[in-house]
Amino acid sequence: MTWLPDDFVHPVQVPLPGGAHHLRPVREADAPMDYPAVMGSRERLWTVFGPAWGWPAATMTYEANQADLLRHEKEIAAHESFNYALLDAAETKLLGCVYIDPPAKAGADGEISWWVVDELVGSEVERAVDALVPRWIAADWPFEQPRFLGREISWSDWLALPEHPGA
């Protein structure tokens, strides 16, 4: 299977149960909300994503974050990879992200990971995201073997896997 079928249409808004939060594709214009969310949770995020992605660096500037969001927005438009922002209903706060990527490691056809800001760790919102993402991927994405990084496989075990043949 190629990364995604040519006729695949990605979801543009995914409500969390309760209606107070939703996921939508991230945009460059989200930088004023994204930068404080990332940097406010940077130490914890680095322990999760740092070894694999080198992100988020302690020295990441607002401009570098904005450039990252523009890259994500372009990748979404091209269906190369997807970054969904977790937002409050009014879209005044970015509270986390969900990444849906082509497989970098063998044994999967999509790799999914996510995070919430420090203030939501252990909260009902985090539990809702944790429950929603696997169901949403199964229902709305064309994967036969999705891999949930940091969930069903540890990041260190994932790093030890062989590269995906198409990566």
| Domain membership flag for residue 17 | no
- What pLDDT was estimated at residue 167? 67
Indicate the number of domains in the chain.
1
Phi, psi of 7 (to 5 degrees): -95, 10
Residue 3 in domain: no
Read off the pLDDT of residues 113-129 as tens digits, 9 standing for 90 and up: 999 999 999 999 999 99
Domain containing residue 147:
22-160
Question: Model confidence over 43-91: pLDDT tens digits?
Answer: 999 999 999 999 999 999 999 999 999 999 999 999 999 999 999 999 9
**What local confidence, expressed as pLDDT, does residue 19 receive?**
86
Q: What is the CATH number of the domain that holds 94?
A: 3.40.630.30
**Whole-model pTM?**
0.95
Say if 122 falls within a structural domain: yes
